[in-house]
Amino acid sequence: MQKILMIKYAELNTKKDNIGMFLRTLKQNIEEKTKDMATIQFDKGRMFLKTTEENFSFVLKTLKKTFGIHEIEIGYEIEDTKMENIENVLKEIALEKDFKTFKVETKRSDKSYPLKSPEISRHLGGILLKNKENTMVDVHEPEITFYVEIRKDHAYIYSEKEKGLGGYPVGTLGKGLLMLSGGIDSPVAGFLSMKRGVKIEAIYFESPPHTSVEAKNKVESLVQILSEYSNSIKLHVIPFTKIQEEIYKNIPHEYLITIMRRMMYRIAERVAYKNHCKILINGESIGQVASQTLASMVAINKVVSLPVIRPVACFDKLEIISLAKKIGTYETSILPYEDCCTIFVPDHPVIHPDVEKCEEYEKLIPYEELIKEAVLNEEIVTNQIKKEFEDYL
């Protein structure tokens, strides 16, 4: 009896001509994450994975963190579609389970099979009633449903399923650059953009000695957690101290944050171009802080021409926190290390910044040079091995 995982795709039905590319990417992503632990086959709108008993839970866990999957059915493959074989496997599975009411539901994609789907369900239901004591059929609210699927060469029986994450396979929509701070919002923004098929690289601005090595380690841990939903994620660490100090020394303090964020955007755009990222992504949420009012967004956004995607723009903080908990970034995000946005906070940051004033103030610092130097001195961190995988080994 070969244990099998059958994958139902998410949202891919709308991708008529491109479906091949979506499925190939999904397969590659799974293969990359599971190494050689599973073999993958396609058959009529489904993907089938076979693995060994000992690797089974790792493979399942990996699938649950892979975008592009709607549902994972856990069951058994039957080599030959003879009714007697199906009966035997069904009996074996049912005897291991504890239930009082059940139903059998059959789907027959091999229309040449001698019995029709309802006849097969009825027949197999009868077999179970005979072989499993104290059970009865309940077609409306059964405790357990045995799904039988008869295809050309094989039959399958499933009784368990797990929900997938949905979305598109990571990489199918190109690459974006995530501005990743150590906070709660930006990792969630990264997760949501990956869900739409965007592969991400991340950029982090650090300001040592004002920000600590622990703050940077925290961002690396967040990258590690996010990479479980993708494959490896490249992190660009940008030295931001000089720029920040120049801003602090020369620019009226109510504009500190606005100008600092304009510099971040400029640098992010350059790193994006250099690394073939088509969009910038960040964790801004409308109205959350002074730099996220609509007027601030206008003034800050002005300095770049790449689209800036803000996946949590319209979420409130509680919604973002709840998602952060679900995806596993929250506990790391709340570790109390400072971010470069929080070290030079003015008492009264401007809420409606004026673009002309921004441009005027920026003339007070040699920002072009400073930006070039910062980009040139970036440090690249690539997480090679996934945490989960490491634990497993």
- What residues line the site for Mg ion (CB under 5 A)? 181, 183, 339, 341
Q: Is 221 in the site for ligand ATP (CB under 6 A)?
A: no
- Shortest Cβ distance from residue 238 to ligand ATP (Å)? 8
- Shortest Cβ distance from residue 370 to ligand ATP (Å)? 16
Choice between 9 and 330, CB closer to ligand ATP:
330
- Shortest Cβ distance from residue 340 to Mg ion (Å)? 9
CA distance 196 to 209: 37
- Shortest Cβ distance from residue 227 to Mg ion (Å)? 21
Which of ligand ATP, Mg ion, none has residue 291 at its interface (CB below 5 to 8 Å by kind)?
Answer: ligand ATP
- Shortest Cβ distance from residue 393 to ligand ATP (Å)? 31
- Shortest Cβ distance from residue 85 to ligand ATP (Å)? 55
Choice between 15 and 278, CB closer to ligand ATP:
278
Q: Is 186 in the site for ligand ATP (CB under 6 A)?
A: yes
Choice between 165 and 219, CB closer to Mg ion:
219
Q: Is 183 in the site for ligand ATP (CB under 6 A)?
A: yes
* C-alpha separations of 168 from 63, 195, 225, 275 in Å: 13, 6, 19, 22
Site string for ligand ATP, 329-368 (x = CB under 6 A): ----------xxx---------------------------
Which of Mg ion, ligand ATP, none has residue 282 at its interface (CB below 5 to 8 Å by kind)?
Answer: ligand ATP
Tokens of 233: 């994620």
CB 161 within 8 A of CB 73: yes
Q: Is 73 in the site for ligand ATP (CB under 6 A)?
A: no
Ranked by CB distance to ligand ATP, the top (closest) residue is: 183
Site string for ligand ATP, 309-328 (x = CB under 6 A): --------------------
Please report the DSSP string for 217-260 in residue order.
Answer: HHHHHHHHHHHTTSS--EEEEEE-HHHHHHHHHHS-GGGHHHHH
- Bridge partner list, 203: 179, 236
Choice between 167 and 183, CB closer to ligand ATP:
183
Choice between 60 and 286, CB closer to ligand ATP:
286
- Write out the binding residues for ligand ATP, residues 280-299 only, by CB under 6 A: 282-284, 288-289, 291
Q: In what order do the strands lie in the sheet with 234-239?
A: 308-309, 279-281, 175-179, 199-206, 234-239, 379-382
CA 182 to chain centre: 18
CB 229 within 8 A of CB 190: no
Task: Find the binder of ligand ATP among 73, 185, 269, 362 (CB under 6 A).
Answer: 185
- Write out the binding residues for ligand ATP, residues 150-179 only, by CB under 6 A: 179
Which of ligand ATP, Mg ion, none has residue 190 at its interface (CB below 5 to 8 Å by kind)?
Answer: none
Residue 203, H or E segment: strand 199-206
Tokens of 175: 């690459």
- Shortest Cβ distance from residue 128 to Mg ion (Å)? 57
- Shortest Cβ distance from residue 365 to ligand ATP (Å)? 19
In terms of Cα–Cα distance, which of 122, 90, 93 is closest to 106?
122
Choice between 185 and 228, CB closer to Mg ion:
185
Choice between 25 and 186, CB closer to Mg ion:
186
Q: Find the length of the chain.
A: 393
Helix ranges (DSSP H) in the chain: 19-34, 56-63, 83-96, 117-131, 185-195, 213-227, 241-250, 256-274, 294-301, 317-327, 330-333, 340-343, 355-362, 367-376, 387-392
* Amino acid at the residue 347: D
In terms of Cα–Cα distance, which of 161, 147, 48, 158 is closest to 107?
147
C-alpha neighbours within 13 Å on the C-beta side of residue 313:
10
Ranked by CB distance to Mg ion, the top (closest) residue is: 183
CA distance 259 to 244: 9
CA distance 242 to 244: 5
In terms of Cα–Cα distance, which of 201, 232, 218 is closest to 378?
201
Site string for ligand ATP, 188-217 (x = CB under 6 A): ---------------xxx------------
Choice between 25 and 244, CB closer to Mg ion:
244
Binding site for ligand ATP (CB under 6 A): 179-181, 183-186, 203-205, 282-284, 288-289, 291, 339-341
